[in-house]
């Protein structure tokens, strides 16, 4: 078990103008499950591969525990990695796959067999130990890949989108299994995904990256409640937060017909940006109000989920059309084509500077 520290770690691919990972600073606690999340090309996989030693580090350093591993070979880092495509050795049986690392480390055969049997039991793979990977289903292969990591009892688990090749149902199931397993083993884990639902449900903490720059590291709850900027606000949460550019004059923000008071500092920032401010409201914080008291929205689509319904509509703010999503009572949803007025629940708005995208006091 160990902590992991990224200290201004930077990766610049040869020939690229912008670093793929730019001065990444994260401290991961002992036994913590940290999820790196972001859109494709944000540098999350590169960060993981830097930690694994599969990618050079061009600046800064990476430490596992107290050891500086920046320039160590992967095999000397005491890590285990689960790959997106599982990367099982096709000519070896499941048991040989799981025991390969131990065999290379020169462990006695007896011990290898014991450890493999143990891992196979944990992962419910006992009856498949003598099979080749090609005789397994996708979910079983995924578990073998996990087993290969577990068998070594490394200091850190690295997982690179291990669920992305599974079908939707299996993914949800495996998601909770991996999270539970990690809690049980207590091994520090860095997990990469592009799926923010995975990030929110699995991680002790979540790190959001964009264009190689770390945006925010926080617990899923805090991340959801207090996104530091417009990008995180829009990325975390499903369906996404409504983000609209609205007028703010004299300490009041105009959300359609609804007038919401904003703090003075925030109003000053808005004044500098031409009395504009970006307001974010989560779909579940949108209330239906009477005509003229909220943002007039034309309903384009209603998704009925039973208990709730999601209303997808278009609203007009200063002549610019915005997509608006709201969660409403599933028993009496508005109809398609209808006009509905939405106002944010009190105390549940997020304000961002229109210029910098940074969070402002609401």
Partner 1 sequence: MTTTTPEVPATATAPVPTAASVAHQKLTSPWASFAAIIIATLWTIPTIGLFISSFRPEEDVKTSGWWTWFSSPNVTLENYHEVLTGSDTKLATYFVNSIVITIPSVLIPITLATLAAYAFAWMKFPGRDFLFVAVFAMQIVPIQVTMIPLLKLYVDPPFGLPQLAGKFWTIWLSHSIFALPLAIYLLHNFMKEVPGELIEAARVDGAGHVRIFTKIMLPLMAPAIAAFGIFQFLWVWNDLLVALVFGGGNLDLSPLTVRLAELSGTRDNDWQILSAGAFVSLIVPLVVFLSLQRYFVRGLLAGSVKG
The residue (of 67 and 275) whose beta carbon lies closer to partner 1 is: 67
Q: Provide, rounded to whole angstroms, the least separation between the CB of residue 105 and partner 1.
A: 6
3-state SS, 177-234, equals HHHHHHHHHCCEEEEEECCHHHHHHHCCEEEEEECCEEEEEECHHHHHHCCCEHHHHH
User: Cα(192)–Cα(207) distance, rounded to whole angstroms?
Assistant: 10
Q: Provide, rounded to whole angstroms, the least separation between the CB of residue 243 and partner 1.
A: 31
Phi, psi of 348 (to 5 degrees): -120, 35
Tokens standing for 186?
Answer: 């207590």
The DSSP output letter for 334 is P
The residue (of 99 and 227) whose beta carbon lies closer to partner 1 is: 99
CA distances from 350 to 151, 172, 243 (A): 46, 30, 9
The residue (of 91 and 361) whose beta carbon lies closer to partner 1 is: 91
Q: Provide, rounded to whole angstroms, the least separation between the CB of residue 176 and partner 1.
A: 22
Residues that bind partner 1 (CB under 8 A): 52-54, 73-75, 79-81, 83-91, 100-101, 104-105, 132-136, 138, 141, 148, 152, 165
User: Cα(309)–Cα(328) distance, rounded to whole angstroms?
Assistant: 5
The residue (of 148 and 327) whose beta carbon lies closer to partner 1 is: 148
C-alpha angle with apex 80: 74 to 84, nearest 5 degrees? 100
Q: Provide, rounded to whole angstroms, the least separation between the CB of residue 36 and partner 1.
A: 18
Q: Provide, rounded to whole angstroms, the least separation between the CB of residue 301 and partner 1.
A: 12
The residue (of 133 and 333) whose beta carbon lies closer to partner 1 is: 133
């Amino acid at each position: 078990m160990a902590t992991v520290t990224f200290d201004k770690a930077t990766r610049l691919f040869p020939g690229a103008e912008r670093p793929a990972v730019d001065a990444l600073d994260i401290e991961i606690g002992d036994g913590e499950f940290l999820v790196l999340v972001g859109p494709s090309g944000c540098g999350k996989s590169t960060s993981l591969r830097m930690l694994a030693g599969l990618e050079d580090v061009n600046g800064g350093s990476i430490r596992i525990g107290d050891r500086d591993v920046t320039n160590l070979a992967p095999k000397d880092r005491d890590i285990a990695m689960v790959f997106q495509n599982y990367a099982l050795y096709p000519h070896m049986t499941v048991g040989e796959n799981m025991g390969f690392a131990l065999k290379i480390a020169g462990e006695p055969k007896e011990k290898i067999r014991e450890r493999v049997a143990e891992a196979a039991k944990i992962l419910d793979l006992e009856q498949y130990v003598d099979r080749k990977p090609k005789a397994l289903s996708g979910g079983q292969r995924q578990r073998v890949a996990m087993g290969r990591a577990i068998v070594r009892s490394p200091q850190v688990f690295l997982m690179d989108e291990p669920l992305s090749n599974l079908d939707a149902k299996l993914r949800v199931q495996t998601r909770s299994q991996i999270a539970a397993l990690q809690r049980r083993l207590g091994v520090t884990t860095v997990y990469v995904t592009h799926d923010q639902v995975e990030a929110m449900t699995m991680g002790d903490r979540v790190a959001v990256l964009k264009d190689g720059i770390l945006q925010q590291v926080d617990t899923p709850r805090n991340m959801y409640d207090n996104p530091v900027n417009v990008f995180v606000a829009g990325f975390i949460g499903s369906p996404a937060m409504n983000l609209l550019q609205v007028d703010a004059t004299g300490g009041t923000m105009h959300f359609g017909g609804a007038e919401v008071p904003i703090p003075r500092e925030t109003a000053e920032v808005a004044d500098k940006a031409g009395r504009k401010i970006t307001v974010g409201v989560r779909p579940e914080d949108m209330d239906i109000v009477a005509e003229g008291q909220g943002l007039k929205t034309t309903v384009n689509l209603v998704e009925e989920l039973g208990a709730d319904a999601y209303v997808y509509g278009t609203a007009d703010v200063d002549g610019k059309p915005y997509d608006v999503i709201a969660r409403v009572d599933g028993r009496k949803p508005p109809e398609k084509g209808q006009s509905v007025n939405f106002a944010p629940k009190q105390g549940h708005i997020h304000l961002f500077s229109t210029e910098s995208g940074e969070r402002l006091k609401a």
